[in-house]
Amino acid sequence: MFNKMFDKLLQLYYKITKEEYEIVVVEYDKEGLMSNSFTINLKKIIKINNTYLKGIDIEGNAYTKSSVNPFNYTIRKIY
């Protein structure tokens, strides 16, 4: 019982103090077929659109992805 309560308090603390986003990127080739898919966790998103992604990953390193071909992305906020 104490562990459950502690876990809930810990999750609440993370929700208030920590930011983390999970971004799923799906790339397409020139014919429109899916060519690549990957997931990245970022703690800060600086700029994102269908050809450019810039942010800071969970270890504090800068992450940049740019492409001439548009890609689809979905953002899910973890904390």
The pLDDT tens digits of the residues spanning 35-68 come to: 899 999 999 999 999 999 999 998 889 999 998 8
pLDDT at residue 14 in the model: 77
The answer to whether residues 71 and 25 touch, using CB atoms and an 8 Å cutoff, is: yes
Question: pTM surpassing 0.75?
Answer: no
What Å distances lie between residue 29 and 16, 22, 38, 48, 68, CA to CA? 40, 23, 15, 20, 11
pLDDT at residue 74 in the model: 95
Residue 28 corresponds to which tokens in the numbers above?
Answer: 């397409």
